[in-house]
Amino acid sequence: MKSEKKSGRITVVTKILEANDRVAEENRRMFSEAGAYAIDLIGSPGAGKTMLLEATLPALAGLMRVGVIAGDIETTLDAQRISAFNVPVVQATTGAFGGACHLEASTVRQAADQLDLDCLDLVFIENVGNLVCPAEFDIGQGARVVVLSVTEGEDKPLKYPLAFSTADFVVINKADLLPYLDLDMDALRRNLRQVNPKLEWVELSARTGGGLDSWIGWIRDKMDAREGPAKR
Ligand SMILES: Nc1nc2c(ncn2[C@@H]2O[C@H](COP(=O)(O)OP(=O)(O)OP(=O)(O)O)[C@@H](O)[C@H]2O)c(=O)[nH]1
Ligand SMILES: [Mg+2]
């Protein structure tokens, strides 16, 4: 009896993920056809995802047209912060849908419908602050970036491997705080490699802007290398 229940539950979970994957593929096609590259930003609450965007948007101004989807369980606080940069922004809150700890492909689809994708080159999707659930859900992104702050500790890649094994890039944020911490940066780099040998990363401070150039360079290289028609 017990195992029947368990297998029933597994079937349901599998169906949810399959349904999500189908919409994610549609999203990927939608972004690609519009020529808008989508970057899924995931990371723990407070890792600095929004502050990274606040540093990144001025650096990309004039280079490309950027839109933002801000994911949270509640509030429009992040969208309000982003709107100061004069870019199109949509807040996607999961509170009305049971407070999911991640964005699903269908939520991203609804949010993207509020943006004029044909007029955008790049869409940042700031996922709900969480290092676990967002890693399990494909949302149709072109690339996934983990924002990990140095205050979180060098062991996080080992403890939350899915986030790092499914990531294309890691932004190690809050580098300005390193002098005040006993973080073992070599161990962090080793742990990142152990979980995902192909992983690249940059160490930066969204607060001071130190190291931001490498992050901007990665975005531009990634966009230049993407498949599909360039818009301009
Ligand atoms: N010292 C320092 N503080 C930072 C840096 N980046 C972000 N912070 C601070 O960290 C806190 C959280 O930053 P947010 O950008 O709101 O973090 P978030 O990841 O968007 O948080 P959620 O959206 O709630 O998941 C704020 O107080 C920021 O000022 C940084 O590079 N250095
Ligand atoms: Mg945020």
What number does the ligand 1 atom closest to the CA of 130 have?
A: 25
- The yes-or-no verdict on residue 57 having pLDDT over 60 is yes
pTM of the model: 0.94
Q: Report which protein residue has its CA nearest ligand 1's atom 11.
A: 46
Q: Residue 158 Cα, ligand 2 centroid: separation in angstroms? A: 24
Q: Residue 143: what are its φ and ψ, rounded to 5°? A: -150, 150
Q: Residue 225 Cα, ligand 2 centroid: separation in angstroms? A: 28
Q: Residue 46 Cα, ligand 2 centroid: separation in angstroms? A: 7
- The yes-or-no verdict on residue 49 having pLDDT over 90 is yes
Q: How confident is the model at residue 4, as a pLDDT? A: 47
Angle, alpha carbons 96-102-107 (nearest 5°): 60
pLDDT bracket for residue 11 (50, 70, 90):
confident
Q: How confident is the model at residue 16, as a pLDDT? A: 81
Q: Read off the pLDDT of residues 84-118 as tens digits, 9 standing for 90 and up.
A: 999 999 999 999 878 999 999 999 999 999 999 99
Q: Which of 94, 106, 95, 116 is nearest to 140 (CA)?
A: 106
Contact 170, 141 (CB under 8 A): no
**Other residues' Cβ atoms within 10 Å of the Cβ of residue 93:** 19
Helix, coil or strand: residue 116: coil
Q: Read off the pLDDT of residues 186-221 as tens digits, 9 standing for 90 and up.
A: 999 999 999 999 999 999 999 999 999 999 999 999
Q: Report which protein residue has its CA nearest ligand 1's atom 6.
A: 48
Q: Read off the pLDDT of residues 21-34 as tens digits, 9 standing for 90 and up.
A: 999 999 999 999 99
- The yes-or-no verdict on residue 229 having pLDDT over 60 is no
List, in order, residues 6 or more apart from 189 with CB less than 8 Å away.
Answer: 201
Contact 149, 46 (CB under 8 A): yes
Q: Residue 103 Cα, ligand 1 centroid: separation in angstroms? A: 20
What number does the ligand 1 atom closest to the CA of 147 have?
A: 19
Q: Residue 9: what are its φ and ψ, rounded to 5°? A: -65, -40
**Spatial distance between the Cα atoms of 196 and 91, rounded to a whole number of angstroms:** 31
Q: Report which protein residue has its CA nearest ligand 1's atom 14.
A: 48
